[in-house]
């Protein structure tokens, strides 16, 4: 009896539909080879959902993502919906609403260097020696979800007595939110090389001091893990200076957003980083990159972060490790043969062969 997995697809905006099309082909090909099939339900999220319904996370999508085996998201956002008006809907609200609705508090972003791509990173190849790290980002707390407001401030009227505008965002963490993400990070470190960097700004902010205390309390349950506290500014520098020192990095939502984009450049491109968002409900898999509106519809986007997100889904939610291994091996082999999308091509390497989004999918499907 072949298994059927129910997967909700959220292609989103910009390059989203193009890379999602490749994910679907690759999953179907893997299913044929490894004896499973995928039943897809496609739903709207982000800008596409705003255009169709006025709501970036419509009710129909809310229901579909709650009732499936896994959610696969490509990317959302674009200049069409860019606004600084706090009363207008934004695509990003759809993504944040989705993460929150799924209770997906743990965002795992593996930074893995493919041998063939050493030349694609802006860092010298010798700095990349031994680099293999995982960013564990808290995903449904902190500044992204705290109280915020923009208002006219009568008290601080500017020149001529005209009230000036004022805005605030709130960075708040509760003990249990820190504890549960710390546990995920310690478990990951235990399954990897036993080292955990907890990243904060405890020299300045209160949530970071609480963060540090709770992480150290959880550490008592993991005596075999080496725990290192590191300030976020120092971490930003160390990621460039000596990235091989890291195994697992755990940090709050905003710091994790920034550090993971930085860390992606170790692999050569933002287009290479996948992520898994795990928590209380159905898990969500998405590349860390955005919708790249500047290259949308041109068949040049890199589908590999999307496909590596499928690999994470096959491993963690669908329990198909053989299919996940096969996908990961094929991607390594295709890269080793010199096939590149434009973002990971290296002008100095004449053996690099540049292909588009669909052709990259063709190559992977053909080898599978």
Cα(214)–Cα(205) distance, rounded to whole angstroms? 15
Site string for ligand IPM, 43-82 (x = CB under 6 A): ----------------------------------x-----
Spatial distance between the Cα atoms of 108 and 130, rounded to a whole number of angstroms: 20
Q: Do the Cβ atoms of 225 and 193 come closer than 8 Å?
A: no
Q: How many residues bind ligand IPM (CB under 6 A)?
A: 6
- Sheet of 132-138, strand order: 36-42, 3-12, 70-75, 284-287, 274-278, 106-112, 132-138, 248-251, 195-200, 226-231
Near ligand IPM in 129-168, by CB under 6 A:
none
Quick one: 169 or 346, whose CB is closer to ligand IPM? Answer: 169
Residue number with the smallest Cβ distance to ligand IPM: 92
Contact 269, 302 (CB under 8 A): yes
Residue from the set 74, 249, 288, 344 that interacts with ligand IPM by CB under 6 A: 288
CB nearer to ligand IPM: pick between 116 and 310: 310
Using CB under 6 A as the binding rule, whether residue 95 contacts ligand IPM is answered as yes
Q: Are 344 and 356 in contact (CB under 8 A)?
A: no
Q: CB of residue 10 vs ligand IPM: minimum separation in angstroms?
A: 13
Least distance from C-beta 221 to Mg ion, angstroms? 30
- Whichever of 173 and 339 has its CB closer to ligand IPM, that residue is 173
Q: Which of residues 228-267 bind ligand IPM (CB under 6 A)?
A: 257
Catalytic residue among 28, 261, 299, 362: 261
Smallest distance from the beta carbon of 11 to Mg ion, in angstroms?
A: 19
Q: Out of 18, 55, 200, 257, which residue is the one contacting Mg ion (CB under 5 A)?
A: 257
Is the Cβ of residue 320 or residue 343 nearer to Mg ion in the bound state?
A: 343
**Catalytic (active site) residue 201:** yes
Catalytic choice (233, 242, 280, 294): 233
Parallel/antiparallel/unpaired status of strands 106-112 and 274-278: antiparallel
Are the CB atoms for 313 and 104 separated by under 8 Å?
no
**360, 341 Cβ separation under 8 angstroms:** yes
- Active site annotation includes 100: no
Residues 6+ away with beta carbon under 8 Å from 181: 105, 106, 136, 138, 250
Catalytic residue among 105, 144, 173, 222: 144
55 vs 257, beta carbon nearer Mg ion:
257
Question: Alpha-carbon distance 138 to 15, whole Å?
Answer: 26
Beta carbon of residue 28, minimum distance to ligand IPM (angstroms, whole number): 26
Quick one: which of 92, 172, 229, 262 contacts ligand IPM (CB under 6 A)? Answer: 92
List all residues 6 or more positions away from 153 whose beta carbon is below 8 Å from its beta carbon: 163, 164, 165, 166
Q: Say whether 325 is catalytic.
A: no
Q: Strands (DSSP E) along 23-131, which ranges?
A: 36-42, 70-75, 106-112
Catalytic residue among 69, 257, 343, 352: 257
Pick 48 or 335: Cβ nearer ligand IPM: 48
Residue 291 has φ and ψ, to the nearest 5°, of -90, 0
Min. distance of Cβ 95 from ligand IPM in angstroms?
5
Task: Quickly list DSSP for 169-192.
Answer: E-----HHHHHHHHHHHHHHHHHT
Which chain residues interact with ligand IPM by CB under 6 A? 77, 92, 95, 257, 288, 290
Catalytically active residues are 144, 201, 233, 257, 261
């Amino acid at each position: 009896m072949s298994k059927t997995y129910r997967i909700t697809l959220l292609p989103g905006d910009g390059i989203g539909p193009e890379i999602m099309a490749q994910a679907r082909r690759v999953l179907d090909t893997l299913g044929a080879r490894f004896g499973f099939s995928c039943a897809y339900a496609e739903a709207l999220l982000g800008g596409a959902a705003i255009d169709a319904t006025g709501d970036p996370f419509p009710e129909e999508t809310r229901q579909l993502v709650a009732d499936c085996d896994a959610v696969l998201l490509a990317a959302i956002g674009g200049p069409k919906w860019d606004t600084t008006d706090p009363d207008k809907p934004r695509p990003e609200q759809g993504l944040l609403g989705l993460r929150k609705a799924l209770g997906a508090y743990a965002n795992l972003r593996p930074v893995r260097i493919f041998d063939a791509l050493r030349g694609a990173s802006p860092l010298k190849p010798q700095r990349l020696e031994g680099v293999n790290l995982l960013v564990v980002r808290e995903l449904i707390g902190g500044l992204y979800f705290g109280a915020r407001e923009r208002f006219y401030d009568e008290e601080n009227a500017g020149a001529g007595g005209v009230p000036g505008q004022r805005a605030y965002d709130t960075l708040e963490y509760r003990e249990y939110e820190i504890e549960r993400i710390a546990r995920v990070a310690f478990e990951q470190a235990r399954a990897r090389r036993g080292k955990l960097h907890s990243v904060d700004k405890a020299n300045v902010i209160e949530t970071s001091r609480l963060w540090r205390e709770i992480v150290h309390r959880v550490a008592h349950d993991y005596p075999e893990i080496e725990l290192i506290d590191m300030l976020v500014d120092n971490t930003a520098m160390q990621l460039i200076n000596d990235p091989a020192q890291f195994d697992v990095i755990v940090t709050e939502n905003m710091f994790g957003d920034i550090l993971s984009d930085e860390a992606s450049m170790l692999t050569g491109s933002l287009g290479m980083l996948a992520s898994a968002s795990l928590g209380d409900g159905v898990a969500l898999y998405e590349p860390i990159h955005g919708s790249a509106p500047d290259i949308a519809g041109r068949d040049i986007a890199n589908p590999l972060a999307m496909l590596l997100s499928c690999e994470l889904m096959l491993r963690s939610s669908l329990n198909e490790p053989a299919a996940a291994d096969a996908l990961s091996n094929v991607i390594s082999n295709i890269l080793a043969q010199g096939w590149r999308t434009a973002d990971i091509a290296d002008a100095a390497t004449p053996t690099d062969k540049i292909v588009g989004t669909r052709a990259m999918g063709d190559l992977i499907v053909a080898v599978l």
